[in-house]
Structure 1
Amino acid sequence: MNKTKQLFASLVLTFLSLGTAQASDYALNMMKGTTWLSRAVYDLHMQILWICVVIGIAVFGVMFYSIFHHRKSKGHKAAQFYHNTMVEVIWISIPTIIIVVMGWLATSLMREMYNADKEGNDRNDYDMTVLVTGYQFYWEYKILGKDGADDIKIVSKLDKKSDDASRDEDIEPLNVPNYMLNVTEPLVIPIKKKIRYVLTSADVIHSWWVPDFGWKKDANPGYTNEAWARVEDAPWMNTDDSDIEKCTTAPKEQWTEADKQICSSVKSWADIDKSAWVNSKNPVGEGFWKSVKVAGVYRGQCTELCGVGHGYMPVVVVALKQADYDKWVQIKQNGSAVPPKPPCDAGVNSCDDREALLLKGNQVYVEECSACHGRNGEGGGAPALNGSSKVAGDTSALAQFILNKVPMANIAKNLDDPELAGVVTYIADRFGNQKQALVLPSAIQEIRAGGGSAASTSTDKSTDEKTEIAADADVSATLTLEELVSKGEVIYGKECAGCHQATGEGMPPMFPALTSSAVATGKIDAQVNLMLNGKNAMPAFGKSLNAVDFAAVLAYTRNKLGNSAGDFKQPADIQALIAALPADAE
């Protein structure tokens, strides 16, 4: 009997500890968060938990009572019966009532999470909207204005200190503040405003999660998800300057409980390292952040495995009082708090200096490219650059490839002309290629404008002839399978082998194998549709290949690389499909 009492006491203590787990450093419970929704989710969680606790105590209580008080040693014999109508009615009715109650509680909260009225329609009572777009491997935010002209764009990447510590064995991660949870520029929002978040992706599936908001949402390419949050009710949000001054002027003995909470928030804000948020691309400088006396900082992560750099996608949201937020908006739209550094900051004044471009290119490569291509160009999550035919070819084609090929295009669009010129020069020169190339920022500007070529001093032009593929515009010609496969081998080597590899084994999971794949051995129309429109990191080849090249690479992938589907499409069939594509896909 003593053991029974000890077991019961331990169970009681375990359940009581749940109430204090929230306050411990090693929290076993959900966090309450800082929004109405997060607290509502927490309250629902606790209601359901205690319902389950009561059910558990009742069920196990009856079970243990039956085991101990009807045991054989006391002379009890097992009753022989098959059913009891009353018991069966009870054990069906009570669970049904419990499920209905739990469902009603959950449905009511779900309706609020979707901001739906009683008829199920969106209330559409938001104060502002933030467009959240996931890229490999960073977040882009747009705080939408009324007419589009007032949109505020934020590019939020992993901060340099965390990035350096993750790649350099000599740097101790424990010495880096908020290691892997800090960014180059946070999303800034006002407090006490109902904000709609519209989430999507430009490449693969990501997921945006800030625990303090009480929800997470997937960001899917080609689709949008929505959620909302209102940061409110923290003690510091209802303060003025005089309340904050108490933290430095009034003795701690005179602080009220509210003062302690306010001053704790003020100290937490002051202790945050904000240096990562100050850079030449962000007009909001150190002076602004010093002027903010208190703010809320809420951190999260991408929670959908999205590639080799998945862990490099933290989320940081800074919530400001309305006056501070208005000042931030004014600086973002009109001012520049940080004097821009020379784009080729290498002890020289000219961006045409090759050594300056190489230095800039090395910096950009380490920060933006090495996670996929490897620090020494050895590849891994993306093709190797060492000895790559594409890198060894024309630097103009290389620059255009980087600008237009997903996922690299998602990175290149946030690089200025000197940065992109530097990284192209660096890639072409390093990794065993030794081309002595020089790509000028002015050439990158011309390419972005739709013309021109990246001027280069390359001493090796022989590879251009090897990669040159004559365009065949005669889509009316009827070609045999052998002719298409022969031509397709060349096109595949140029357009596809970099990701899917020359033998078709791919580099899963980012670049799937084509050998024996369900796509290359399945229905040909499904593969045609996939190639026409693209998916995830694969571009839409209906936009970049002519009909003959398209039909050729289609035939090659289905009848070589270990596949033997035996089918193919004529260029005329492909041309008709390309012509039918929507205007924005052409």
Structure 2
Amino acid sequence: METLSMLPLRLAGFHSKKFLRLCVQWFTSAFLLALASTSQAEYEVNMTPGVTDISQSVFSLHMVIFWICVVIGIAVFGVMFWSMFKYRKSQGAKPAQFHESTTVEIIWTLIPIIILVAMAVPATSTLKEMYDTTESDIDIKITGYQWKWQYDYINDDVSFFSNLSTPQDQISNETTKGENYLLEVDEPLVIPINKKIRFLVTANDVIHSWWVPAFAVKKDAIPGFINEAWTKVNEPGIYRGQCAELCGNNHGFMPIVVKAVEEPEYLAWLAEKQAKAKAEALQASQVWSMDDLMAKGEAVYNTNCAACHQQNGMGIPPAFPALKGSPVAIGPSEDHINIVVKGKPGTAMQAFAAQLSDVDLAAVITYERNAWGNNTGDSVSPQDIAKAKGN
């Protein structure tokens, strides 16, 4: 085995002038490209420090290791370029013929060990802190669906879905895109600042990944498993993220929005959500008119169904069949209710029994049976949904 001390002489026969000229050309091109990029838009490639103690620890650790790698890179490539220049063929350098050096072997074994230990100590400390989910103030279960998130405040009887709220016109390039295009939702996750929040992350269908860069939290959501993470936000604000695991054709349409607020504002929001949940439970026993069901059903459809079946009901065959004139939408209402409530095995049609309230289900089915010219005249009631669920 040859040692590092042989490198200068082994490189002596290399055409160093040509190589150095290519290096200069490459670095010049890279510099001009970077300069052009900065003139057109903000050019950022580094991590964000975030708004939690953990995220800032991760950022600091990243920067320390980055500069260690920079120093190592400068040292290694410096020796290489100096060797090619100093011991080049045009200067008459002759390669030496020798082998092992015990001293060199020991040195280049010990130095990497010392560097790795120096990096491992702070990294291990940060990882231990990241995985410590004990003594949380609030527990929130996060469930990934195709393609939305469900948030359950375990000890507070609050549960809701968070859906993409970017208008379809923007997605279809029919109107100007908003500031938070594809990163806005109808119901953000609301948490108080200066409280330890434990996340219990799972999924209902396929693997998703709940990722908020500002918190340094990225946790896979796997069906049948619960992964844990936590955060403690120091500053009020709105923080955005996305699903970070390819989970289907609408993977890019399930954003995450977290709203961190002062504790009094959080408690007021929580009380409002609890009151709203009670009011919705009472609505299930009311009698709804066709007009009210159609109006509510259109809103529910656009939020939960239009991504697959399209706003005009034409679907995206064969994966997502049309509802306009379909045997399901104009056939017996019992069959229609059953497929929406329980889903259809072997297809992309999910069971919405646990995702929507009885009122929402009655409204959206009524809408589907009377929109786009279907005009069945059928009106589905929340009591019909409860019967289909077996309640």
TM-score (normalised: structure 2): 0.79
Q: How far apart in 2 are the matches of 1:384 and 1:144?
A: 38
State the SS of the aligned residue for 1:193.
coil
Match of 1:153 in 2: 159
1:69 is matched with which residue? 86
> 2-side partners of 1:330 and 1:365: how far apart?
28
Aligned twin of 2:378: 438
| Mapped contact 2:217–2:230 kept (Cα < 8 A) | no
1:436 Cα deviation after fit: 1.9
Instruction: State the match for 1:366 in structure 2.
Output: 302
The reply on whether 1:398 has 2:336 as its aligned counterpart is yes
Seq. identity, %: 42
For residues 128 and 425 of structure 1, do their structure 2 counterparts lie closer, same or farther at Cα, with a shift above 3 Å needed? closer
CA contact (8 A) 1:157 1:183 kept: yes
**Matched-pair contact (CA < 8 Å) for 1:163–1:180:** no
User: In structure 2, do the counterparts of structure 1 residues 186 and 410 end up closer, same or farther at CA, with 3 Å as the change threshold?
Assistant: farther
Aligned to 1:129: 139
Q: Partners in 1 of 2:383 and 2:264 — Cα distance? A: 44
User: Which structure's residues are more often strand, by fraction?
Assistant: 2
CA contact (8 A) 2:217 2:231 kept: no
Q: Deviations over 1:399-447 (max 9, x none)?
A: 0111111775554544444543343234344568x46241332553442
Q: In the alignment, does 2:219 pair up with 1:217?
A: yes
Corresponding position of 2:174: 170
Change (3 A) 1:128 1:429: closer
CA RMSD of aligned residues (A): 3.2
Partner SS state of residue 228, structure 1: strand
**Residue aligning to 2:210:** 208
SS in 2 for 1:91: helix
Q: CA separation in 1, counterparts of 2:157 and 2:293?
A: 32
Question: How many residues were matched structurally?
Answer: 351
CA distance in 2, matches of 1:30, 1:323: 32
| One of 192, 195, 198 as aligned partner of 1:196 | 198
**Contact 2:362–2:380 under 8 Å retained in 1:** yes
Structure 2, unmatched stretches of 5+, are 1-16
How far is 1:167 from its partner?
Answer: 4.8
1:70 Cα offset (Å):
0.8
1:298 correspondence with 2:239: yes
List per-residue Cα deviations over 1:51-82 (Å, max 9, x = no partner). 10111011011111111011122221111123
2:316 to 347, 370, 379: 379
* Alpha-carbon distance in structure 2 between the residues aligned to 1:187 and 1:51: 38
Which runs of 5 or more residues in structure 1 are unaligned?
116-121, 235-294, 344-349, 452-586
Deviates more, 1:41-50 or 1:436-445: 436-445
Partner Cα separation in structure 2 for residue 222 and residue 135 of structure 1: 13
1:323 CA displacement: 2.3
C-alpha separation in 2, matches of 1:196 and 1:36: 15
From 447, 450, 456, the equivalent of 2:387 is 447
- Give, in angstroms, the shift of residue 172 of structure 1: 1.6
Pick closer, same or farther for the CA change 1:309–1:444 going to 2, 3 Å: farther
2:157 is aligned with what amino acid?
D
Q: Specify the SS of the correspondent of 2:57.
A: helix
Residues 361 and 419 in structure 1, CA contact (< 8 A), matched pair in contact too: yes
Secondary structure (helix, strand or coil) at the match of 2:289 reads coil
Residue aligning to 1:55:
72
Q: Is the 8 A contact 1:368 1:411 kept in 2?
A: no
Q: Are the counterparts in 2 of residues 425 and 438 from structure 1 also a CA contact under 8 Å?
A: yes
Match among 249, 264, 283 for residue 308 of structure 1: 249
Q: Report the CA distance between 1:44 and its aligned residue.
A: 0.8
Shift in Å, 1:365: 2.7
The question of 1:321 aligning with 2:262 is answered: yes
d(CA) in 2 for partners of 1:90, 1:364? 68
Q: Is the 8 A contact 1:351 1:418 kept in 2?
A: no
Cα 1:410–1:322 change in 2 (3 A) is: farther
Q: Distance in 2 between matches of 1:444 and 1:166?
A: 36
Secondary structure of 1:68's match?
helix
- CA distance in structure 2 between the partners assigned to 1:164 and 1:439 by the alignment: 27
Task: Select which of 72, 84, 93 maps to 2:101.
Answer: 84
Give the C-alpha shift of residue 169 in structure 1: 3.9
Are 2:337 and 2:388, in contact at CA under 8 Å, matched by a contact in 1? Answer: no
Describe the shift of the 1:360–1:153 C-alpha distance in structure 2 as closer, same or farther (beyond 3 A). closer
Which residue number in structure 1 is paired with residue 184 of structure 2?
182
Contact kept? 1:208, 1:301, Cα under 8 Å: yes
| 8 Å contact kept, 1:142–1:152 | yes
Residue 11 of structure 2 is matched in structure 1 by none
Q: C-alpha separation between the residues in 2 aligned to 1:446 and 1:215?
A: 38
1:386 Cα deviation from its structure 2 partner: 5.3
Report matched runs for 1:397-546 at 5 Å: 397-405=335-343, 411-429=352-370, 434=374, 436-448=376-388, 450=390
Instruction: State the shift of 1:360 in Å.
Output: 4.3
Give CA deviations for 1:112-155 in whole Å, capped at 9, x if unaligned: 1111xxxxxx6x2222211111112111112222xxxx332232
Question: 3-state SS of the aligned residue for 1:301?
Answer: strand
Contact 2:148 2:254 in 1 (8 A): yes
Change (3 A) 1:442 1:108: closer
1:257 equivalent in structure 2 = none
SS for the counterpart of 1:48 is: helix
Residue 94 of structure 1: how far off its partner (Å): 1.4
Evaluate the alpha carbon distance shift between residue 445 and residue 191 of structure 1 in structure 2; reply closer, same or farther with a 3 A threshold: same
Q: Distance in 1 between matches of 2:160 and 2:293?
A: 26
CA-CA distance at 1:383 after TM superposition? 3.6
Distance 1:188-1:373 versus aligned 2 partners, 3 A rule: same
Instruction: Give the residue type in structure 1 aligned to 2:71.
Output: V
Q: Distance in 2 between matches of 1:108 and 1:65?
A: 39
Q: Secondary structure at the match of 1:207?
A: strand
Letter in 1 for 2:174: D
**CA, structure 1 residues 410+31, in 2 after alignment: closer, same or farther (shift >3 Å)?**
farther
In the alignment, is the contact (CA less than 8 A) between 2:369 and 2:377 conserved in 1? yes
Q: Map Cα deviations across residues 513-551 of structure 1 (whole Å, 9 max, x no partner).
A: xxxxxxxxxxxxxxxxxxxxxxxxxxxxxxxxxxxxxxx
| Change beyond 3 A, Cα 1:207–1:410 | farther
